[in-house]
Homo-oligomer: A and B are copies of this chain.
Amino acid sequence: METFSSKLLQTAVEEFSRLPGIGKKTALRLVLHMLKQDGETVQRFSEALMQLHSEVVYCRECHNIADRSLCDICSSPRRDKSMICVVEDLRDVIAIENTGQYHGLYHVLGGIISPIDGIGPDDLNIAALEKRLHNTQEVREVILALSTTMEGDTTNFYLYKKLNAFNIKISVIARGIAIGDELEYADEITLGRSIIYRTAYEATTTR
């Protein structure tokens, strides 16, 4: 794949293949697709990206990506302001919103504590979360909804220690066997945890 007939083409392919999960072959396919489009389409694509990068605003409360200084969720009168769900990034907000099961507020950390990647607590929006809790008496519960990884557990523990100073409930989303999963294929740690943290059987459980 190194024999490109054009330097311009090679540069564009290299830029695309820097994207996560995009190899050289896919990059070439995407670039050739763009080359077949008219100039307007290519310009619109490029401008959407540059405009997002230069004009993006983060909500001053929850640090989610927003168009205004206070995002739609934080400014909605219909959201339950007694709960804050702490997530790693925007994709988690979208995932939780799609469940339709949560009506509180969010707090986007912008990452997770990961010494290997050089990300410490100061690189995340943790001080902002403490400030948020200082400024209001409304919040009664903080739900930690981070990844079930070593980094997620470390961040949970760090947040627990920091937030313990406030008089609020701190909870973690339930870990266990995914709905539809077969027990025999579940890993031992998940299965073990799902036994330890078993809940009372409810005959009317919907899902």
Q: Report the separation of the CA atoms of residues A50 and B89 in the bound assembly, to the nearest whole angstrom.
A: 30
Main SS class of interface, A: helix
The interface stretch among A65-73, A130-138, A152-160 is A65-73
The answer to whether A12 touches B52 (Cβ under 8 A) is yes
- Quick check: is A3 within 8 A (CB to CB) of the other chain? yes
Taking CB atoms, residues of chain B closer than 8 Å to A64 are 5
> Given that A21-B29, A28-B91, A29-B21 are contacting pairs, would A5 and B65 also be in contact in the complex, using a CB cutoff of 8 Å?
yes
- Copies of this chain, complex-wide, total 2
Q: Report the separation of the CA atoms of residues A3 and B95 in the bound assembly, to the nearest whole angstrom.
A: 10
Q: Report the separation of the CA atoms of residues A3 and B149 in the bound assembly, to the nearest whole angstrom.
A: 27
- Quick check: is A206 within 8 A (CB to CB) of the other chain? no
The answer to whether A67 touches B6 (Cβ under 8 A) is yes
- Quick check: is A94 within 8 A (CB to CB) of the other chain? yes
The answer to whether A9 touches B49 (Cβ under 8 A) is no
Q: Write the nearest CB–CB distance from A12 to chain B, whole angstroms.
A: 4
B-contacting residues of A (Cβ < 8 Å)?
Answer: 1, 3-9, 11-12, 14-16, 18-22, 26, 28-35, 37, 39, 42-57, 59, 64-67, 71-73, 89-91, 93-94, 97-98
